[in-house]
């Protein structure tokens, strides 16, 4: 009974979302008629989403839960696909935009085969075949080869492909519920739209970037709100130094230091990068840290390595070696803290 109820809820949710998605072009056209043309209308809708969801995001951040800002690739792909889909309505017929964008399952199947190594079942192949047949019927009225005919068509087709890429990325990404996905969609979708507006400007028109101001101001406000939340959050944080040190030592974070070490010894960077990669591969196979590898093993990869290698493979050595401006050495960090205190307090 519970499984059946769950299926009903999923079906209802899908029906509602599909209906809302299908009539999305209505507010887009209304905004265009009201003077919010092009990407401005789309960014206005994205900003509304960001404003409505920001309080929930701040609450989740205070509770130590994911907000979605740590999912930039998912947000950019899903939001970018949506932006292309929204803009396509302004440049082509609604039916053509919908059909081309809803070729998303075809792209998803292709990406699954390429990146997830999944083979589609017979039912999916037949379904996709019917979808391609419908595409040919609609577009073959104007041309023998059913290809997109204008910029709006290409935007809709590209939007479906980009959106499918976001879905594939989402499947291999750990997430904390649905909210982080939605919030990252609105935040990074706004960023994608802003970048599109900037790139699409005519030459020598960059001194009058009117349409970029609203998303910039909105993003600034969102960041300020998060910083206010951090002011309340940070004083209550308790640090477990032992666990932090153990976690920091994992993942071969000092592999870059190893490559830099070889460069300082006179090895070309591309060769040092290759050598460091082979050493990391050895460590993975041996299930050990870089600092636990014996000197003889290091020297089997490069005769330039001597006992001084262990000084930079420790966490302390790695931190201390970054002495340039903005580096992680304790002295640099203290200077940065002092500057921040003088500037902001």
- Residue pLDDT, tens place only, 289-337: 888 899 999 999 999 999 888 888 888 888 888 888 878 888 888 888 8
- In the predicted model, is pLDDT for residue 37 greater than 70? no
Is the Cβ–Cβ distance between 249 and 315 less than 8 Å? Answer: yes
Is the Cβ–Cβ distance between 176 and 66 less than 8 Å? Answer: yes
The pLDDT tens digits for 166-182 are: 888 877 776 667 777 77
- In the predicted model, is pLDDT for residue 200 greater than 80? no
Q: Other CB atoms closer than 10 Å to residue 109's CB: what's the count?
A: 18
Give the per-residue pLDDT at 300.
Answer: 92
The pLDDT tens digits for 249-289 are: 777 888 888 888 898 888 888 888 889 999 999 998 988 88
- Looking at the chain, the domain(s) classified CATH 1.10.40.30 span 242-328
pLDDT > 90 fraction of the chain, expressed in percent and rounded: 4
- In the predicted model, is pLDDT for residue 44 greater than 80? no
- In the predicted model, is pLDDT for residue 3 greater than 50? no
pLDDT > 70 fraction of the chain, expressed in percent and rounded: 79
DSSP state of 114: I
Cα(95)–Cα(191) distance, rounded to whole angstroms?
27
Give the per-residue pLDDT at 1.
Answer: 43
CATH no. of 242-328: 1.10.40.30
Q: What is the mean pLDDT of the chain?
A: 78
The sign one gets for the Cα dihedral 61, 67, 72, 73 is: positive
The pLDDT tens digits for 89-148 are: 777 887 788 778 878 888 888 888 888 888 888 888 887 788 777 777 766 665 555 567
- In the predicted model, is pLDDT for residue 28 greater than 70? no
- In the predicted model, is pLDDT for residue 212 greater than 70? no
Cα(341)–Cα(345) distance, rounded to whole angstroms?
5
DSSP one-letter string for 115-149: II--PPPHHHHHHHHHHHHHHHHHHTTT-SS----
Mean pLDDT of all residues in 227-240: 84
């Amino acid at each position: 009974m519970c499984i059946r109820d769950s299926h009903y809820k999923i079906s209802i949710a899908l029906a509602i979302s599909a209906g809302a998605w299908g009539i999305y072009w209505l507010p887009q056209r209304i905004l265009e008629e009201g003077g919010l043309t092009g990407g401005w209308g789309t960014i206005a809708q994205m900003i509304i989403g960001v404003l409505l969801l920001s309080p929930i995001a701040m609450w989740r951040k205070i509770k130590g839960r994911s907000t979605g800002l740590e999912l930039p690739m998912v947000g950019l792909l899903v939001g970018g696909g949506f932006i292309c889909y929204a803009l396509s309505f302004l440049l082509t017929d609604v039916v053509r935009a919908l059909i081309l964008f809803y070729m998303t399952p075809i792209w998803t199947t292709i990406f699954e085969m390429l990146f997830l190594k999944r083979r589609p079942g017979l039912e999916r192949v037949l379904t996709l075949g019917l979808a391609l047949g419908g595409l040919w019927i609609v577009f073959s009225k104007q041309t023998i080869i059913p290809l997109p005919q204008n910029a709006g068509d290409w935007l809709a087709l590209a939007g479906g492909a980009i959106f499918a890429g976001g879905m594939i990325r989402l499947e291999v990404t750990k997430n904390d519920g649905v909210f982080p996905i939605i919030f990252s969609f609105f935040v990074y979708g706004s960023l994608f739209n802003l970048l599109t507006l900037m790139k699409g400007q005519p030459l020598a028109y960059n001194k009058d970037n009117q349409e970029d101001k609203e998303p910039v101001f909105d993003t600034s406000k969102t960041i300020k709100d998060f910083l206010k939340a951090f002011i309340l959050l940070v004083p209550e944080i308790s640090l477990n130094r032992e666990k932090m040190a153990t976690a920091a030592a994992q993942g071969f974070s000092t592999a870059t230091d190893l490559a830099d070490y070889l460069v300082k010894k006179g090895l070309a960077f591309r060769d040092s990068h290759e050598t460091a990669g082979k050493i990391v591969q050895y460590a993975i196979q041996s299930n050990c840290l870089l600092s636990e590898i014996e000197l003889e093993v290091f020297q089997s990869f490069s005769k330039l390595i001597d006992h001084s290698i262990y000084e930079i493979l420790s966490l302390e050595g790695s931190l201390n070696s970054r002495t340039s401006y903005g580096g992680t050495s304790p002295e640099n960090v203290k200077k940065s803290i002092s500057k921040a205190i003088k500037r902001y307090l």
